[in-house]
Amino acid sequence: MACYHKVAVAYNGMLVRDEPVWFEHVFKNRLVYYYRGDDTGDVEGYIIYRYNPHAADTEFLASDLIVSEMIWLNERALKGLLGFLSSQHDQIGSVDYYDHFNLPMEQLLNEPIMSGGHRSMILGAETAWIGSGLMGRIVQLRKVLTQGKFGEGRGKVTLKVKDELQPGNAGQLTVEFDDGGVELNDRRVAELTMSTDIATFSSIYWGALSLRDARYLGMVEIEGKGRDASFLDTVFSFPKSVCLDYF
């Protein structure tokens, strides 16, 4: 549980889990494999999984292994977890893993083959990109600005955000960024302005859309003659949203 929390605080989208959630939902009808550090004895990674049996009249390997969640804190934990999955090769047909963290599987697997043992001579492996399918919207803009985790960079910008459903978010607000620190000012107007709507700002904050792409698509407008706006690209750089809970 502590292992999950250490990863969860680094990403947007991962939920707070109390004991009822763990035991009544996450662990229900599933198995758990833990990786412990040899020197610390602490849990540094885990896999939550289940076996999916094949029909009785199918091939010798009678089930697949379905990974519902895999969390690791360091490189050795990741290697240990992948080693556990690899050790199952003579007992199962395939491993199904929904990759939330964009692992370079074609580099990690020694001999990647398709399900059923058929090799793809052109690609070398069958891979897929899976979206999280999350929907998120900022409800309290000021709280996000003061308590959120922003990237490194220094500068001032006046935000002009449109929000028809939450008037408290709409309007003009000057924000000063100082390498992760944020200060708000309602009275001053910066020489640099950034205009957008709350939906686009939410997508940027959740890591679903980069500021650079939003500007290219015309979803964000930045104005200010002679002002360097490059710090905004690093300030508004967020990790991809991850949520391991399905509901």
pLDDT band at 131 (very low <50, low <70, confident <90, very high): very low
Matching fold, domains 2-108 and 141-235:
no
* pLDDT tens per residue, range 50-75: 998 877 655 556 788 999 999 999 88
Kindly list the domain boundaries of the chain, sorted by start residue.
Answer: 2-108, 141-235
Superfamily designation of domain 141-235: SCP2 sterol-binding domain (3.30.1050.10)
- Distance from C-alpha of 175 to C-alpha of 201, rounded to nearest angstrom: 14
Superfamily designation of domain 2-108: Gcn5-related N-acetyltransferase (GNAT) (3.40.630.30)
- The gap from C-alpha 165 to its chain's centroid, in whole angstroms, comes to 27
- Phi, then psi, of 68 in degrees rounded to 5: -90, -20
Instruction: Give the dihedral of Cα atoms 159, 162, 165, 166; nearest 10 deg.
Output: 20
pLDDT band at 108 (very low <50, low <70, confident <90, very high): low
- Looking at residue 95, its pLDDT comes to 86
* pLDDT tens per residue, range 83-94: 998 888 778 878
Q: Which two tokens stand for residue 223?
A: 């104005």
- Eight-state DSSP code of residue 182: E
- Phi, then psi, of 47 in degrees rounded to 5: -125, 130
pTM of the full predicted structure?
0.57
* pLDDT tens per residue, range 9-65: 888 788 899 999 999 889 888 999 999 998 888 999 999 999 988 776 555 567 889
